[in-house]
Amino acid sequence: MENSTAWQLFANRTEFEAIVFSVSGSCALLSLLLTFFLIYRHLKHYYEPQAQKPIIRILLMVPIYSVVSFLAILLSPYALYFNLVRDCYEAYALYQFLCLLTHYYDSEGGAFTYELIDLGGDGGSSIGGQMRQEFVRSRFPFPLCCFHYTPGNTLLTWIRRFALQYVFFKLLLSFVAIILALTGLYHAGSFDLRYGFFWISLLLNLSAIIAFYVILIFYGLIARTISAHEPLLKFLSIKVLIFFCFWQTLAIGALYYFDILPAFFGWTKEQSADVIQNVLICGEMVGIAILNFWAFSYRTYRTEPGVHTLHNLGKNIATDILNPLDLVRETKEAFTPLPDKENDHRS
């Protein structure tokens, strides 16, 4: 079956398999239509790019998850390759959520910025100092509650760095997984310590927890200030999608590993686990797509009736939404050392 063509993989399906493909495909199509309609409405009222750009990039998670999961069902022997795209974009979308939170805080008059700015021109007063007047020295959340931090540009810089590490770590380990799979050392769903699935899953989980942890710190600092933007609903939408799918994958893998669920359709245990996981994702994306109409509503950005920005649709998509250089620029900013004057304001 590994050497079968795409047509041979699709042909000669049983009636039950056809039902599985039909239901999964219908769910994927519905979630696509719902999400693209919401994205279209944002692009029609694209008046606040600094907020709507990360929102649209986050919304794209649903169609990417849906399409990739359906293709992984249809062409199950190649599921690992499809999942590479899904997993890498997932990490990028999480970073975009941090960018969105930062914009909300700045728009509400908050003091967090990506750069130190002199106040008064004498070099003696900086945004970092202003932030320490607004916030007090605090403890980190569990499990680092024994340590303290003082809000400032240094903290924000490290938050961005720890969020970005998930993007690059996810990309690196996804390629490692493919290499191990080609050499027979991956074994998706297997918790055997001799194979790569367990170790890659462990490392990815630690990386994701770190990214969520630092975003949670940032969210805790600014939640009250940006409450009008309903950040909790947005945060829950992303967290449910990413973490629920991740733990769902591990749970299904464990059921197959301990022979609680059998292989079916002539597939291996690994392929069967992937199929069940992807069928569930296709269905779940419909619910996430509906939730996003409340979590990431376009109505906030709508102005007068009949006024729209569709005349700039192509430009907004090509040079703003889908601009791949943004990640390069943001990474460079995040890992550029802070000026020495920031150090003068550290506690």
CA–CA dist 103, 332 (Å, integer): 19
Task: State residue 34's pLDDT score.
Answer: 96
- Determine how many CB atoms are found less than 10 A away from the CB of residue 326: 17
Task: Please give the model's pTM, rounded to 2 decimal places.
Answer: 0.79
Q: Under DSSP, is residue 149 helix (H, G, I), strand (E, B) or coil?
A: strand
Flag whether pLDDT at 100 surpasses 50: yes
Contacts of 203 by beta carbon, 8 Å cutoff, 6+ apart: 169, 173
Flag whether pLDDT at 120 surpasses 60: no
What is the DSSP code string of 165-211? HHHHHHHHHHHHHHHHHHTT---TT---TTSHHHHHHHHHHHHHHHH
Antiparallel, parallel or unpaired: β 138-139 and 148-149: antiparallel
The mean pLDDT of 217-246, rounded to a whole number, is 81
pLDDT bracket for residue 39 (50, 70, 90): very high
CA–CA dist 137, 147 (Å, integer): 10
53 vs 230, higher pLDDT:
53
CA–CA dist 199, 192 (Å, integer): 9
Flag whether pLDDT at 132 surpasses 50: no
**Percent of the chain surpassing pLDDT 70:** 76
Q: Under DSSP, is residue 138 helix (H, G, I), strand (E, B) or coil?
A: strand
In order of 55, 141, 150, 227, 289, the CA distances from 106 in angstroms are 16, 24, 19, 13, 28
The mean pLDDT of 193-217, rounded to a whole number, is 87
pLDDT bracket for residue 29 (50, 70, 90): very high
- Determine how many CB atoms are found less than 10 A away from the CB of residue 274: 27
Q: With the C-alpha atoms ordered 132, 138, 144, 146, is the resulting torsion angle positive or negative?
A: positive
The mean pLDDT of 59-79, rounded to a whole number, is 87
Task: State residue 246's pLDDT score.
Answer: 73
Task: State residue 124's pLDDT score.
Answer: 35
Task: State residue 48's pLDDT score.
Answer: 87
pLDDT bracket for residue 141 (50, 70, 90): confident
Task: State residue 311's pLDDT score.
Answer: 64
Tokens 């419909």 belong to 286
Query: Which one of 34-38, 95-99, 324-328 scores highest in mean pLDDT?
Result: 34-38
Q: How far apart are the first and last CA of the chain?
A: 62
Is residue 252 within 8 A of residue 276, CB to CB? The reply is: yes
Tokens 């919401």 belong to 38
| Per-residue pLDDT reduced to its tens digit, 244-285 | 777 787 788 777 777 777 766 666 677 777 788 888 999 999
CA–CA dist 257, 249 (Å, integer): 12
Task: State residue 123's pLDDT score.
Answer: 38
